[in-house]
Structure 1
Amino acid sequence: MGVGSDSRPVAVVGAGVMGTGIATTVLGSGRPVVLVDNDPAALDRATHTIPLQLRHARLMNAAPADGQPGRLVTATAVRELGGVSAVIEAVSEHLTVKTAILVEVAGAVGADVPLVTNTSGIPIDELAGALPRPHQLVGTHFMNPAYLIDLVEVIRGPRTGEATVAALMALLAGLRRRAVQVRDSPGFVTSRLLHPMLNDAARLVGDGIATADEVDALMQGCLGHRTGPLRTADLIGLDNLVDSLAALYERTGEQRYRPCEQLTAKVRDGHLGRKSGRGFYDYTEVLS
């Protein structure tokens, strides 16, 4: 399963915010990518967004400035994944959706191809249980924007094979990404710490204690948070955040993970953060 210097394409399944960012990361390293999504409109948006993200990554020294980017191919069906060296699944944070996609992918690729699920909180072993070859599955948690943030949380499930982990670590090294490996559990490390803070920040705004800008200013100026929790929530996507919190709440029963009304109301209203033009902040000028 050695994929570090492999010239075969890396498949990314899911052309949303995370899938597009991960595809940009791989392309920036010079590796070809097959980006799969059953929505042609999502693929069209990704093909327009990726060149902008590549330029941004180079400006921020997150991708080689003089390197030739890999070739991007798009597809609308998983069955077109023959010949890839690894598959990174980056669909929505729902167990049934991820399981269905991973089962389909497992049937389309060989036993030596690592299956990488990008998840912010669903335990890897829950997903592996549905697969014909559970040893093929390993977890990652790329941070958004994936093409700028070089640290990746890697999660090894109880049934993940040694060769699968080694292949993923080689792939990440080839992408100039640092990996921190943690044990399998709901939310792993980053989501268990970050998401309840974002939930509490939203709750403070909902309770009228402070505005979003005031909460972020205090967290930046007093506690050194780089962007502030609510700008971070907008970047993650408030719908993604609600899904991740709900998954954590379902698996732990801890009230701090229960999505607060301020978040769920914004999602109901379609205010999902940067990607929709409005969340805790207004981004309409950025998107225009």
Structure 2
Amino acid sequence: MTHDSLLRLYCNVCHRRIWCTIQTFYKCSVCDLFTHLKCKESISKMCQTYKTPQTVFIMTIRPEIGLSSQQHRCADCRRFIGLANKKSKQVLPEARICDYQGRYHCSNCHKNEQTVIPARVIRNWDFSTRTVCQRCSNMLELLSNHPVIPLESINANLFSHIDDLVTVKNLRMTLSNLRLYVHSCKSAQQHNSFAKLKIKLHLMDNVDMYSMQDLIKINDGTLIEELRSISQDLIKHVKENCELCAAKGFYCEICKSSELLFPFDLNAEVCEKCSSVYHK
């Protein structure tokens, strides 16, 4: 935790005002939890760094499970929510649903932040934003650029209905076939297009995995333009601008044509056994 002293805040443990000018308090650098010094040892809410898996999303749409299944408590901090406490007769915090995990949270743990839900994209190609709790919002932001979604193995039907997905898959296959040329050529590695792609090498190295940002950019059309521009530049480098790369072309051993073939050509086929290249 890091010390701070300038903000108007409330303690996430006792829910009382933090007087910044006269009280020592702490803020979690990951999940933005605030607490008095005296309340620090009473924190029951586990930080998202420890509580949330860092490698996968929830891939199925989670239905609302109901407050009673949570004993009318917040899923994170365990405060009573939604109903009045009969002993103290006080009005309890509003229960807010997290669309990502289907659980209820208090207003301190759920700030009504909105984001795209991975499961709804994977199952229904639905990019509308929905409210999520603060912990899930932070986690989704952290994982947004991680290629952890095997989209086709989860929902292959999307590729039959979304033309842009097929286009991106073909462009990624082209880049995958360009990979051996690019990785063995120093001048290709210094090319501006490869520098752009280097940030997201999974687009070239693992064509079956997608990140949430990939899917969002497919939906708005920007990823197709990026991949098309990069593949065209690298193909031009291999075929026209680099003698070393061009020398690694193939001749079709079936028709004996003098035309040079490359694995990424649309009219080329690669043998799975011997890796030879021939016309389709």
Q: Which has the higher helix share?
A: 1
Give me the TM-score of the superposition, normalised by structure 2.
0.27
Give me the TM-score of the superposition, normalised by structure 1.
0.26
Say which one has the larger Rg: 2
